[in-house]
Structure formats: C-alpha cells, structure tokens
Amino acid sequence: MTEQDITSIAWNDDGLAPVIVQQHDTREVLMLAWMDAEALRRTLTGGRAVYWSRSRQEYWRKGDTSGNTQRVVGVAVDCDADTILMQVDQQGPACHTGTRTCFDGRELPLGEVS
C-alpha cells in the first residue's frame, strides 16, 4: 500500500475508517476497530496493528499493555474504499474482556421480530 492508497481511503468526517480484524488462517472475525491515516501508516511500517481510540483520543498498538498482540499479515480496502480489512496473526484473546473474539457469546436470537 502506497501513500496514494492511504490518501484514497474515504475517511469519515472524523478522519477515521472502520477496520474489520480477521485471523488470517481461520478467517475468524476477531474485532472491529478504527484507524486514521497515521494509524494505518504505523501499522503498515511496523507490522503490528495500531488503532485510534475514539474514547481515549489516542493511538494504541494492540498488545502493548495486554500482551495480546496482532502481527499484520495482510491489509485490504473494500470496493468503496471506506472500510479496511486487516488479516492478523492474533496472539492471545482479541477482546478486552478476555474472550477470543469481541463477538464470542454475544449472538442474537434469530426469528421473527415483533
């Protein structure tokens, strides 16, 4: 990915894009996070996932405090260039709650909605 690729991303009004994080070998969806252009640059050059924390208003590299790191294996942008798909090698739980993914045990029931 080049600087031109980074600037061609359709960043939202806050300068962010959602990042779907997927385990590279199992295709398991681990989490959703947010990046700005600088977080993406840091990720691409450093080889570990760096995100923008909307609540703390700061960058965070996954695993620096928890030890649950994400080594980046691949990065793609969707057809509208407004969502990033990042394939990683996840070490330890991906979710801050300690579960493997941020979606474990959080399924909604299927059926008719009344």
Block residue for tokens 């739980």: 93
What is the C-alpha separation between 17 and 11, in angstroms, rounded? Answer: 5
Provide the CB-side half-sphere exposure for 3 (13 A, CA).
Answer: 0
Q: How many whole angstroms separate alpha carbon 106 and alpha carbon 114?
A: 21
Q: Which domains, ranges and CATH numbers included, belong to the chain?
A: 3-90 (3.10.20.810)
Which helix H or strand E contains 41, and what residues bound it? Answer: helix 37-46
The per-residue pLDDT for range 51-102, each reduced to its tens digit, is 999 999 999 999 999 999 999 999 999 999 999 999 999 999 999 999 999 9
pLDDT of residue 51: 98
For 24-46, write each residue's pLDDT tens digit. Answer: 999 999 999 999 999 999 999 99
